Chain A
Amino acid sequence: MIKLRHVSKAFHSTSASSVHAVCDVSLTVSAGEIFGIIGRSGAGKSTLVRTINRLSLPDSGEVIVDGRDLLKLDTRELLAARREIGMIFQHFNLMSSRTVFDNIALPLELIGIPRKEINEAVNKLLALVGLIPEAHRYPQQLSGGQKQRVGIARALASKPKVLLCDEATSALDPETTRSILDLLKRINRELGLTIVLITHQMHVVKQICDRVAVMDAGQVVECGSVLSVFRSPQSNVTRSLIGDVISSELPESVLQRVRRRIDGRDGDEHPDHLFRLSFVGNEVDRPLLSEAVKRFGIDFNILHGQIDEVQGQAFASLTLLVNASKESLDGALALFKEHDVTVEELSHVL
Chain B
Amino acid sequence: MSSELLNLFFTSFLETLVMVGISSGVGALMGIPLGVMLNITDEHGILPHPVFNRVMGLLVNAVRSTPFIILLVAVIPFTRFITGTSIGTGAAVVPLTIAATPFIARLVESALREVDTGLIEAAQAMGATDGQIIRKILLPEAFPGIIAGLTITVVSLVGYSAMAGAIGGGGLGDLGIRYGYQRFLPEVMAAVVLILIAFVQIVQSLGDRLVRHVSHRGRILQVKT
Contacts and interface: CB of A to CB of B under 8 A. Distances in A.
A83 B127 CA distance: 6
Interface string B195-225: 0000000000000000000111110000000
Interface stretch (A89-97, A184-192, A293-301): A89-97
B119 interface: yes
Nearest to A99: B216
Contacts of B214: 97
Please provide the 9 A-B residue pairs with the shortest distance between their CB atoms, ordered closest to farther.
Answer: A82-B127, A93-B122, A138-B216, A93-B118, A79-B127, A87-B125, A83-B127, A107-B126, A96-B217
Contacts of A85: 125
A289 interface: no
Given A96-B141, A110-B132, A140 B127 contact: no
B118 A89 contact: yes
Given A93-B116, A140-B218, A158-B126, A55 B136 contact: no
B17 interface: no
Contacts of B121: 55, 89, 93
A334 interface: no
B4 to A, nearest CB: 51
Contacts of B136: 106, 109-110
B148 to A, nearest CB: 14
28 contacts: A53-B125, A55-B124, A79-B127, A79-B129, A82-B124, A87-B122, A87-B125, A89-B118, A89-B121, A91-B118, A93-B116, A93-B122, A95-B119, A95-B137, A95-B140, A96-B141, A97-B143, A106-B136, A110-B123, A110-B127, A110-B128, A110-B132, A140-B217, A140-B218, A154-B122, A154-B126, A158-B126, A164-B125
Interface in A110-166: 110-111, 138-140, 154, 158, 164
Nearest to B124: A55
A54 B163 CA distance: 54
A164 B129 CA distance: 20
A83 B126 contact: yes
A97 B122 contact: no
A148 B218 CA distance: 18
B40 to A, nearest CB: 16
Interface in B75-127: 116, 118-119, 121-127
Interface residues of A, number: 30
Given A95-B119, A140-B217, 5 more contacts: A78-B127, A89-B122, A93-B121, A97-B143, A97-B216
B215 to A, nearest CB: 8
Contacts of B137: 95
A80 interface: yes
Contact of B216 (A80, A91, A96, A107): A96
Interface string A59-78: 00000000000000000001
If over half of A's interface residues share one DSSP class (helix, strand or loop), that class is named, otherwise mixed; here it is mixed
Contacts of A91: 116, 118
Contacts of B125: 53, 55, 82, 85-87, 164
Contacts of B126: 82-83, 106-107, 110, 154, 158
A249 B144 CA distance: 51
A74 to B, nearest CB: 13
If over half of B's interface residues share one DSSP class (helix, strand or loop), that class is named, otherwise mixed; here it is helix
Contacts of A55: 121, 124-125
Contacts of A53: 125
A98 interface: yes
A81 B116 CA distance: 24
A55 B117 CA distance: 12
A85 B127 CA distance: 9
A95 B141 CA distance: 7
Interface in B125-165: 125-129, 132, 136-137, 140-141, 143-144
A70 to B, nearest CB: 12
Contacts of A83: 126-127
Contacts of B132: 110
B165 to A, nearest CB: 42
A96 B129 CA distance: 20
Contacts of B124: 55, 82
Max chain B Cβ within 10 angstroms of own Cβ: one of A94, A95, A106, A107: A95
Interface in A187-206: none
Interface in A162-194: 164
A107 B132 CA distance: 11
A94 B127 CA distance: 16
Nearest to A151: B122
Contacts of B141: 95-97
A53 B121 CA distance: 11
A42 B83 CA distance: 60
Contacts of B119: 93-95
Contacts of B144: 97
Nearest to A102: B140
A260 to B, nearest CB: 53
A158 B143 contact: no
